Amino acid sequence: MASADAKEALVQLTAGDAPVRVYTLHEPAARGFLAEEIALHLREITGRAQKGPKPIAQRSEATAPALLLERDASLGREAYVAEARDGFIQIRGGDERGLYYGVLAFFEALGCRWFAPGEWGTVIPRRDAIALPSGWRAEGKPFLPWRGYHICGTGRDRDGQPMGHFDHETLLWMARNRMNYKPIHNDQEDRVAPLLREYLLEPLAFGHSYSAWFPASDYEAHPDFFPLVEGKRLKEGQRCLSNPELQRTAVARIVDYLDRHPRLALVSLAPNDGYRWCRCPGCEAMDAPEDRAKGELHRRNHLFAQTIARAVRAQRPGAVLSTISYSNYTEPSADVPPEKGLAISMCVTGAVNRSLDDPQSAWAALYRGRIDRWRAKAGPIFWSEYILSYGGAFPRPYAREMFRTFHQLAKQGVVGYKSEVTPGNFDAWRSASFLMYAVARGLYDAKADADALLEDFCRRFYGAAGEAALRYHRANREAMQRCAEDLPMLAAQNIPKIWSAADIARIEEAADDMRKAAAAGPGRIRARVAVLERQAAELATTRREVENTLAEPGEVRAAKLGVAPAFQDFDRLEWTAQRQRFNWLPYDPPSRFAVGYNETALWLCFRLGEKDLSRARAFARVRKGDVFHVSGVDAFVSPNPSSGVYYQLALNLTGERYMARCLGRQQDSSWDLKPEVRIRTRRGGWDLLVGLPYAALETAPPAPGDRWRLSLNRAQSSGEPAVMGGWPKGGAWHKIATMGDIVFGDPAAPNRPAAKKR
C-alpha cells in the first residue's frame, strides 16, 4: 500500500546535473543486480550518468537528500517499507529481495512500470527532478510465498545468445514484478541456477524427469528399469516403478544429486510426458482396482513418489522432492501414508472464466477438493497453470477471477504458483500483456485491485489511446463475465459462447478509436495499439468461421475405389478442409484431405499446404528422428468405436512415422499398421497417400453405410510459430468421442467416382 500528502514538502533527490546520492547501510549487496537496477533506472529517468551505491556503517555518514537502503530482518521475508522523511527516501527490506522490492516501489512512485518483457513493454518517464512528497510511504509483503513463470523452450541470454529454458528479458520482467523463482529441470542446476540467482530468482526443480534419472543409456545394463508393454521392454516411455533395484538406484542417485547441489530447495521426481506405462505384474499391482478399470494411475504415481521421498529423507532429512498431479494421475491415494517431503505441482486445466472460490462451478469444487486431499498427504502444493499455452492471441479478460483464485489458494495453504510461458512468442504474450502483468502483481500483493491495475495499465501503456483501450478491455471482460458455463479453455469453439455479435461490434469500435487516437503519437504506442487491432480482427474472424464450421457436418464420405488411388486421381476426390486448432481458421496455404477405400485398405489422401517448403525440409533435417515436430499429419482411426480401440499413425514430410494401437490411456507403440505410404512435393506444399490395411486395423472391409471414427491433426512447421490443427473442427487427440465420422459410400453413387485405373 502507498500513501502521499501532496501538501507536504518534497524530498528532492536531484540538484542540477549532480548524480543522485545512494547509500547502503550495513548492506552487503552494494554491488551486483540491485546496484545495476538502481543505476539503470536513475539514468533512464534523469538522462544523466549515476554512481553506484556507497556503503556506510552508520546513518550519520549519509548526507541528505539521498536514497538510503537498509536491511531490516524484523520486516520478514521479502517485505519492505519505503518512505520519504527527514530529507531521505529511506527503504528498508527484510532481506535482499525485500530491499529490491522497496526500490521498485520507489521507482513505481516515479511512474516506472514493467508491463511486458523488453523495451516494448517498459515505461520509464523522463523527469527533470526526482522528488516525492515528504510523508510518502509504501510497504509490501508477499501474498503467496513462491511466484514464478516457467520459461519453456529457447530464449536469449544477456548477450543475445540462444539458451534453453532461459530468457534475459523475461527474467528481468519477472524480477521487476516481484516474482521470486523460476522452475527448472534437474539437469539445469549447474548452468541456469547461478544465472537465475543473479536476478534474485530462486531455481526450483519441477517437470518430467524419469528419463533424466534413468536415461536410455541405462537400457543395456538394466532393461528391467524400462516399461514392459505388450510383452516387450521399451527403451522409451515411463519406467518400471515397482522394480526394487530401480527404487534403490533412484534413492542413491537423488541423494548424490542433493549432495552436489545443496542450494536447490526442490528436486523433481515426476513421470515423463506422455504414456507407455509399464504393464508388468508388479507395476499393475501398484494400481488401485478402480484406477485400473479407468486406465488411471493415481496410486502408482503417488506411491512411487512417496516411497522415494521417504527413503531420501531418511538420509537427507531436509530434502523435498516434487512430483506432478497431471494427466491420468491427479489424485492422492487414501492408503498411501502422508509424506511432507513430497511437493505437488498441481497442473490445472479447466474453467478459465471461473475463480477457485466460485460456489456454482463444478470445476472449482473439483480443484478445491483436490487441494485438500493433497494437503493431507503431501507437503508444499504449487498451483500450475497454462496461461499462454492455449488460446493463441485471443483476449484473456479474467484478471478479477484469477485474483479471487489467489485468495482461495492462500486460504487453502497453497504455497506457490507457476504458469508456462514461451520466450520469444510475444504475439501471445503481447496480446495478454495486462493479464501477465496483473498475475505477477496479484501474487505478491494481497490487496492488489484488478480494476485499478487495468486503469493504470491503459493510461500509461497506451498514452493518448488509453481511454479507448480501457473500453476495449472492459468490453472483453463484460462478455466473459456473461458466459454462464465453465469453459475448459480459451479455444475457438468457445468464442461464440463468450462474445456476441454486439460484443464484437463494441470491441471493433474501441480498436478503431485506439488506432485513431494513437495515429499521431509515438511509434511505440502505435505498435502496442496494433496488437489489440490484430486481436480484435482475429476475434471477429474466428467467431464467424466457428459459426460457419459448426454448421458443417462432422463427417466425411469415403469414396469406394476400384483400385488403390494414385496422385493423378486427386482431382476426382472430394476434399475437406483442415482448420487451425485454436482459431478454426483455414490453413494458409490450405491443407485438405479426402478418404477412400477399396477391398484391402482404407486410404487417407492429403493435399498439404506449406508456407515455405524448403524451410520445412531444412527443419526436418535438423530434427531428424523427431516425428511430431516436423511438418506432417497425425491420424487417429477407430473402426469399431464401441470397443474403445483406436489406431494412431503419425507421418512427417520425410516419411518418418509413429504407430500405436490405443485403448484408453494405454498405447502399444510396437503395433505395426503396415501402411503403404507415398509422398510427393509440389509448389506450395506436398501430397501424401496412406493406405491402412484392414488386417492391421483388426477389422473386415467396410460395407456401404458403415461408420468409423476419424480425427486428423496437421502440423505446419514452416511458419512462426508452427501451426497445429486438423479435422474435425480443428482436431482432437486420443478421444474417440470427439472424432468425426467416416461414412462409407456406395460405388454406384454419382458423387463417389472410382479412381482411374493405372
DSSP string, 658-706: EEEEEETTEEETT-----EEEEEEETTEEEEEEEEETTTTTSPPPPTT-
Residue entry with cell 542417485: 253
Q: For residue 320, give the C-alpha cell.
A: 523435498
- Give the CA angle between residues 311, 313, 319 to the nearest 5°: 135
* In the predicted structure, residue 450 carries a pLDDT above the cut 60: yes
CATH 3.30.379.10 residue spans of the chain: 2-140
Q: Are 594 and 612 in contact (CB under 8 A)?
A: no
Reference 145, options 412, 351, 377, 414; nearest CA is 414
Residue entry with cell 534403490: 248
Question: Which residue did the predictor score with more confidence, 708 or 430?
Answer: 708
Residue-wise pLDDT for 577-621, tens only, equals 888 776 677 778 889 999 999 999 999 999 999 888 888 888 888
Provide the residue type at 717 as one letter.
S
CATH 2.60.40.1190 residue spans of the chain: 555-744
| E strand map for 94-188 | 113-114, 122-123, 131-133, 137-140, 146-151, 154-156, 162-164, 181-184
Name 204's bridge partners: 183
The Cα 744–Cα 708 span in angstroms is 8
Reference 67, options 142, 141, 136; nearest CA is 136
Lowest mean pLDDT among 109-113, 201-205, 550-554, 600-604: 550-554
**Span 2-140 CATH architecture:** 2-Layer Sandwich (3.30)
Average pLDDT, whole number, for the chain?
91
- Distances 757 to 561, 565, 575, 663, 751 between C-alpha atoms, Å: 10, 9, 20, 38, 18
In angstroms, what is the C-alpha Rg of the chain? 29
Helix (H, G, I), strand (E, B) or coil at 261: coil
Q: What do you get for the CA distance between the two ends of the chain, in Å?
A: 79
Residue-wise pLDDT for 99-143, tens only, equals 999 999 999 999 999 999 999 999 999 998 899 999 999 999 999
The Cα 24–Cα 489 span in angstroms is 48
Return the pLDDT at 510.
Answer: 98
Helix (H, G, I), strand (E, B) or coil at 244: helix
Mean pLDDT value of segment 413-424: 86
Return the pLDDT at 756.
Answer: 42
Q: Are 229 and 64 in contact (CB under 8 A)?
A: no
User: How many C-beta atoms surround the C-beta of residue 483 within 10 A?
Assistant: 16
Q: For residue 204, give the C-alpha cell.
A: 526450483
Residue 341 burial (C-beta neighbours within 10 Å; 0-12, 13-18, 19+)? buried
Helix (H, G, I), strand (E, B) or coil at 320: coil
Q: Are 361 and 327 in contact (CB under 8 A)?
A: no
The Cα 758–Cα 752 span in angstroms is 18
Q: Which residues contact 710 (CB under 8 A, 6 or more apart)?
A: 556, 595, 635, 636, 637, 638, 727, 739, 740, 741, 742
Reference 338, options 376, 302, 308, 301; nearest CA is 376
Question: Which residue did the predictor score with more confidence, 716 or 398?
Answer: 398
Q: For residue 382, give the C-alpha cell.
A: 504449487
Ramachandran bin of 601, using left for φ above 0, alpha for ψ from -120 to 50, beta for the remaining angles: beta
The Cα 236–Cα 669 span in angstroms is 10
Longest dimension (CA), the chain: 101
What is the value of pTM for the model shown?
0.84
The Cα 228–Cα 666 span in angstroms is 12
Binning pLDDT at 50, 70 and 90, where does residue 731 land?
low
Find which of 42-56, 132-146, 743-757 is predicted with most confidence, using mean pLDDT.
Answer: 132-146
CATH class of 555-744: mainly beta
Return the pLDDT at 717.
Answer: 65
Return the pLDDT at 109.
Answer: 98
The Cα 114–Cα 124 span in angstroms is 8
Find which of 24-38, 324-338, 729-743 is predicted with most confidence, using mean pLDDT.
Answer: 324-338
**Beta strands 202-205; 181-184: pairing state:** parallel
Q: For residue 234, give the C-alpha cell.
A: 521399451
The total number of residues shown for the chain amounts to: 758
Reference 665, options 365, 414, 291, 340; nearest CA is 291
Lowest mean pLDDT among 335-344, 439-448, 588-597, 633-642: 588-597
The Cα 716–Cα 591 span in angstroms is 9
Return the pLDDT at 548.
Answer: 79
Q: Which residues contact 242 (CB under 8 A, 6 or more apart)?
A: 278, 280, 282, 283, 285, 286
Helix and strand totals (H; E) in the chain: 19, 37
Q: Are 298 and 330 in contact (CB under 8 A)?
A: yes
* In the predicted structure, residue 3 carries a pLDDT above the cut 50: no
The Cα 186–Cα 204 span in angstroms is 9
User: How many C-beta atoms surround the C-beta of residue 6 within 10 A?
Assistant: 8
Q: Are 633 and 656 in contact (CB under 8 A)?
A: no
Residue entry with cell 513505481: 108
Q: Which residues contact 317 (CB under 8 A, 6 or more apart)?
A: none
* In the predicted structure, residue 380 carries a pLDDT above the cut 80: yes
The Cα 512–Cα 500 span in angstroms is 18
**What sign results for the dihedral spanned by CA atoms 743, 747, 748, 753?**
positive
The Cα 468–Cα 512 span in angstroms is 9
